[in-house]
Structure 1
Amino acid sequence: MSAQTNDILQQELLSNLSRYQDRAARVFHGRGKYFEALSSLNIEWYPPYLFVQNFSESLSDDIAASLKKVFDNNLYISAIIIQTRSWPELETSILYQRSECELPIEHTAKLSDKLKSHVSLGKNRNTGVFLDMRAGWQWVEENAQDKSVLNLFSYTSIFSLFALEGGAKKVINMDMSAGALRTAQRNHNLNGISQGK
């Protein structure tokens, strides 16, 4: 990987981390192939944890060095977690950390000024939140007033949180996974917004 590519990764991360300082966000989307040399990476921010999803068999030394520079120069990052996803294998480890922590990290992440969600970093292939759905969350919140919302394949029901925050009179969450629905109930309770809706 070239020095220019390393610089691009660091610049993108720093720009997006400053934009989303206190809330969970996708801060690098390499899988969109805009940065071809970095197309094996997605990086998500669950303050104070940087969660790197690596879709190649191993993380290159150059990428690890770029991440180390970002980590060393930004004390608000507590740890960088790497999840290598070479299908069907899944391996998660802590690349850098400021103090001792163990995987999986069970964490409450801020999604917006008012909403938060439980996330699990390093336990499964998914964290409990699909951060690339942020524009959809906003749309639902802006259009849910006095509506009944059916959330099919709801997973942990993040869309329902935004619907209720936007004034939905009722939400129904449906998913095949009982575990995901338990986390969804936990998320609704965590935000204290369902009130029988």
Structure 2
Amino acid sequence: MQASSLELFFAKLKQQLTNAPHEVRRLFHGRGRKYQGLEQITCDWAQGQLLVNLFKQADEAFLAQLKQGLLELTQQPVWQEVQGSAIVLQHRYDDGAPSEVLFGELNSRPVVVESGLKYQLDIGRNQNFGLFLDMRYGRDWVREHAKHKNVLNLFAYTCGFSVAAIAGGADLVVNVDMAKASLSKGRDNHRLNEHNLNQVKFLAHDIFKSWGKIKKSGPYELIIIDPPSFQKGSFALTKDYKKILRRLPDLLAPGGQVLACVNSPQVDCDFLIDSMKEEAPQLSFVKRLENPPEFADIDEQASLKVLEFCY
């Protein structure tokens, strides 16, 4: 990371703040590698709180200039106009991803809005705050396609897809994730939106050991697969994704849809398309969903890939 590039960072940041919606949003995406010297920095807007992430250790000159620039930002008219309240710097590269509050008083558990739906964030204690912002269009798509459907949400995390599905009129959503704590946050997200929890199931199970339980609530008209790229001891992308795909014909209703996602730069769209042909040839590739413009990448195959398939 180059201190000389921070002038561009602050120029882009002020521009995006000026146009920031009254929703949670990525403001600067250095990880898309479009800004030389800023590849390891991102900045998110949590409706009053600015969340800056560093993904690689920076030298003292860079850090000092970054912090000074962020503090100077709080004295500018744009900060007052958007009612900024806090700035947090998180060191994602370090053990425990420690955070430091540079300005204001952090609200570590704010409720934010995306596409009119509410989500509870958890800022500063984990690497991720509970909602992957690059998946906004994916959640919007699910909301548009979920009406009167049984929906299966695999690797549900905090159940963002589930919230979108119920908001879109789904009859039932089954969320599966090994982490009970994440599913508990998902339950809270549904409550925030005043959803009927009788329409939502939460299965804290290892997917690969629970196909019988998962199948009981089927068949499903819509299945979402959004796994981590790697999770030690439980999921390795190139080996385990195919194990899920081969189960799809037994889980899907005729005409059912699948939203298959992968966010690893190590594989491209062909990995999913070819794997589906190999493991579940009854399903046809329909299209790739666009990513939100704020997540532009110099190589679209390295960015988030969200693909629609039909049975």
How many residue pairs match? The answer is: 191
- Runs of 4+ aligned structure 1 residues displaced above 6 Å come to none
How many Å separate the matches in 2 of 1:177 and 1:2? 39
Report the counterpart of residue 86 of structure 1 in structure 2: 93
Matched, 1:196 2:203: no
What's the offset of the Cα at 1:57?
Answer: 1.7
Report the counterpart of residue 169 of structure 1 in structure 2: 171
What's the offset of the Cα at 1:196?
Answer: 2.1
Q: What CA deviation, in whole Å up to 9, does each residue of 1:152-181 have, x standing for no partner?
A: 111100111111111212111111100001
How many Å separate the matches in 1 of 2:184 and 2:96? 26
Report the counterpart of residue 140 of structure 2 in structure 1: 138
Report the counterpart of residue 149 of structure 2 in structure 1: 147
Report the counterpart of residue 187 of structure 1 in structure 2: 189
Q: What CA deviation, in whole Å up to 9, does each residue of 1:3-37 have, x standing for no partner?
A: 6x334322322333343331111111111111121
How many Å separate the matches in 1 of 2:197 and 2:91? 40
What's the offset of the Cα at 1:117?
Answer: 0.8
Report the counterpart of residue 64 of structure 1 in structure 2: 67
Q: Which moved more, 1:27-36 or 1:175-184?
A: 27-36
Unaligned runs of 5+ in 1: none
Matched, 1:109 2:125: no
The 5 A counterparts of 1:17-96 are 17-58=17-58, 60-73=63-76, 74-75=79-80, 76-96=83-103
Report % sequence identity. Answer: 31
Contact 1:9–1:66 (CA under 8 A) maintained in structure 2: no
What's the offset of the Cα at 1:67?
Answer: 2.2
- Aligned to 1:94, what secondary structure does the other structure show? strand
Between structure 1 and structure 2, the one with the greater Rg is 2
CA RMSD of aligned residues (A): 1.9
How many Å separate the matches in 2 of 1:66 and 1:149? 46
How many Å separate the matches in 2 of 1:17 and 1:158? 25
- Aligned to 1:93, what secondary structure does the other structure show? strand
Matched, 1:123 2:129: no
How many Å separate the matches in 2 of 1:183 and 1:56? 29
Q: Which moved more, 1:71-80 or 1:54-63?
A: 54-63
Unaligned runs of 5+ in 2: 200-311
Report the counterpart of residue 202 of structure 2 in structure 1: none
Q: What TM-score comes out, normalization by structure 2 length?
A: 0.57
How many Å separate the matches in 1 of 2:8 and 2:149? 43
- Aligned to 1:120, what secondary structure does the other structure show? coil
Q: Which moved more, 1:88-97 or 1:148-157?
A: 88-97
How many Å separate the matches in 2 of 1:50 and 1:29? 13
Q: What CA deviation, in whole Å up to 9, does each residue of 1:44-71 have, x standing for no partner?
A: 1111111111112245223223323333
What's the offset of the Cα at 1:193?
Answer: 2.1
How many Å separate the matches in 2 of 1:85 and 1:153? 22
Sort the Cα spacing of 1:191 and 1:89 in 2 relative to 1 into closer, same or farther, 3 A: closer
Q: What TM-score comes out, normalization by structure 1 length?
A: 0.88
